[in-house]
Every structure is written in structure tokens, then in C-alpha cells.
Amino acid sequence: MTTASADGPIKAIRTELAAELGGLPWNPPRRVALACRILAGEKHCFALAGQVTARADQDTFWTVPWSPAFDAIRLRDVIRIDEDLNPVEGTAQPNPAVRFHYWIYRARPEVQAVVHTHPPSISALSMLGRPLVISHMDTTPLYDDVAFLADWPGVPVADQEGELISTALADKKAILLAHHGLITTGRSVEEATVLALMMEHAAALQIRAESTGGTIAAIPDALAREAQEFLLQPSIIEATFRSFADRILREHPTMLEYRA
């Protein structure tokens, strides 16, 4: 890697990373399957809770059915559904909770993927009714971009919950749902997945920091936004997703074979 110019080190490094890291080799259904395994491997799922969806086209979406759980998903389990939750490819029935995802997609045309999980640290904050605090460099992609829904609407399987959640999310990338879990959105499956991992990491750091009895210090706004822009660039998001995916594929080398 060449030395970055003094007047624009971030810009120079960004250009070099994009050239060096390249893209991902997997199509959207494979990325959905990998996202499920990655999230399961990072303790994001309890039993059958949680969903991953991704736009297939204007009217259909990739997702996975109720069962198997995330830690057993293979490519063969990925289905394509329409807005009425009817299977278009595959015959399994999706988790009915993906209905609230559609409210997000309708309100946010730029969103290409949505992740919803119940990881331990986020769930703990949700039980305390406490918003997420972003105060560490590794979590700055979420800086000033996490909404908070303080009132639990119940199990999100109806349009009322979808409207409430999408309204609370507004233009943010993520939201913490009180008494529930997290939702992250992304320009890609990999972005939504990586942000979910970062959100749980941020919650774990917050709980540990607050347990000392001290006060979490704010980070300078300008520096936080600079770090956010840098760490959210597609090349870094893709490389992060791939590092987790490669680990999964070493353990489960046949999971992306259609009929494995």
C-alpha cells in the first residue's frame, strides 16, 4: 500500500482499499444464508427468533423460513417471497414477522436488506429501556444513526407493528426496540449484517463501561463522522463480512451447495 498524501490520507486509503479488497463472490441468496450463519455464530439468535430479508427485485424478497434455525441454514433453505408472504421460489413458509420489514422497505427505497435479531447485550439494554450509546471507534458506523423505540408494540406480525417500527426508525440505519431486540438496515446484506454485529458489540461495551459506575464520555462529533464515513465504505464492510463468512465456510464447506 502506498503512502497516503498528507492533504488527504483518508481519501487515498479509501481508494486503495477499494482496489485491494475487491467484491464478494456470492449471489444474494448465498449472502442471506451466510448472514444467518454469521449471526448465529455471534450469539444473535435464540431458538427461531430473528429474520434476514433482502430485496430480490421491486416486488419480491429473499429470506429464510421459520425452520431450521439460523445456525443450520443452508442455501437450499433460502426462499423468495412476495409482499403477501407467498413463496415465489421454494415452498417453505417465511416467518410471519417479516411483515414489518416491508414497512421499512416501502418507506426507505435505498434499503436493500434488513436484519432483526435478539442478541444478549442488546436484549439487556432493551429490558432496561436504555438507548444505545456510541462512544468507541469500532462502533462509529452507527454514530448518531440508532433510533430507539421505547414502547413495545408486542410480537411484530401485523401491519400496526410495522407502521410503528418503520416510523420510529425514520431515516436511521438501526433501531433498538425496548423489551425486544435490534433492527439494522443496509445498502446490502453484508452492510445490514455487519451493522447488527457492531450494534451488539456496542451494547456489550456500554454495559461493561456503565458497570464501573463511571460516565461514558462522548466522542468528538467531527471525528466520529469521519470514522463513520471511512468504516462504512463498501470495501471495508465487504471485507468484514467475508472474514466472518470464511470462518463459517471452513466449518461448513457444503452449506452453499444448493442440494447439499
Model pLDDT, residue 11? 59
Model pLDDT, residue 35? 98
Residues facing 117 on adjacent strands? 182
Question: Domains, the chain, ranges and CATH?
Answer: 27-251 (3.40.225.10)
Strands 51-55, 113-117: pairing is antiparallel
State the Cα–Cα distance between residues 4 and 235, nearest whole angstrom. 17
Model pLDDT, residue 140? 98
State the Cα–Cα distance between residues 234 and 256, nearest whole angstrom. 23
State the Cα–Cα distance between residues 253 and 213, nearest whole angstrom. 45
Model pLDDT, residue 147? 98
Model pLDDT, residue 188? 97
Query: Which residues have CB under 8 Å from 15's CB, separation 6+?
Result: none
Model pLDDT, residue 1? 36
Model pLDDT, residue 246? 97
State the Cα–Cα distance between residues 96 and 116, nearest whole angstrom. 13
Single pTM value for the model? 0.91
List of the chain residues with pLDDT < 70 = 1-22, 154, 156-158, 259-260
Model pLDDT, residue 21? 59
* pLDDT tens profile 164-200: 999 999 999 999 999 999 999 999 999 999 999 999 9
